[in-house]
Structure formats: structure tokens, C-alpha cells
């Protein structure tokens, strides 16, 4: 797989008639970039963590 980013096996398609991805270069992982983009508008974890243990309307007095 030297020099290739992706290798598809077209000799035997999957059940959905899609070629099987046999190899993907590690450097092509977009997981971290995608998570950053998905969570860019999410509230800070620190702000959420300050409310841990407290529940709204728990009825405890």
C-alpha cells in the first residue's frame, strides 16, 4: 500500500454493492478534526461540570 492513501477491493462488493475499503492511510483519519467541528458550538465542559450532582426539580428539601 506504499504511496496510496486508499485501496478499494472491487472484486467482491459488499451487500450494498459498494466496493470494500481494504486499506486507508493512517494520516487520513479525520476523527479529531470532525469532532472539533461538530462540537465547536457546544458549551464548555467546565461550565457543565459545575452543575454536576444537582438535578432540577428533584424534590429534595
For residue 23, give the nearest of 10, 4, 41 by alpha carbon.
Answer: 4
What number is the average pLDDT over the span 4-30?
A: 79
Each domain of the chain, given as residue ranges in start order, spans 6-46
What number is the average pLDDT over the span 21-39?
A: 84
Contact 25, 44 (CB under 8 A): no
What number is the average pLDDT over the span 38-59?
A: 69
Residue matched to cell numbers 459498494: 18
Q: How far is CA 12 from CA 6, 20, 21, 24, in A?
A: 16, 7, 11, 18
Confidence at 48, pLDDT banded by 50, 70, 90: low
pTM for the full predicted model: 0.35
Q: Is the pLDDT of residue 53 over 70?
A: no
Q: What is the pLDDT of residue 54?
A: 57
Q: Is the pLDDT of residue 58 over 90?
A: no
Q: What phi and psi, each to the nearest 5 degrees, are found at residue 19? A: -60, 145
Other residues' Cβ atoms within 10 Å of the Cβ of residue 9: 12
Amino acid at each position: 500500500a506504499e504511496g496510496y492513501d486508499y485501496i478499494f477491493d472491487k472484486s467482491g462488493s459488499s451487500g450494498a454493492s459498494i466496493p470494500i475499503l481494504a486499506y486507508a492511510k493512517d494520516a487520513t483519519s479525520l476523527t479529531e478534526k470532525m469532532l472539533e467541528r461538530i462540537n465547536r458550538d457546544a458549551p464548555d465542559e467546565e461550565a457543565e461540570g459545575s452543575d454536576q450532582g444537582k438535578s432540577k426539580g428533584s424534590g429534595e428539601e
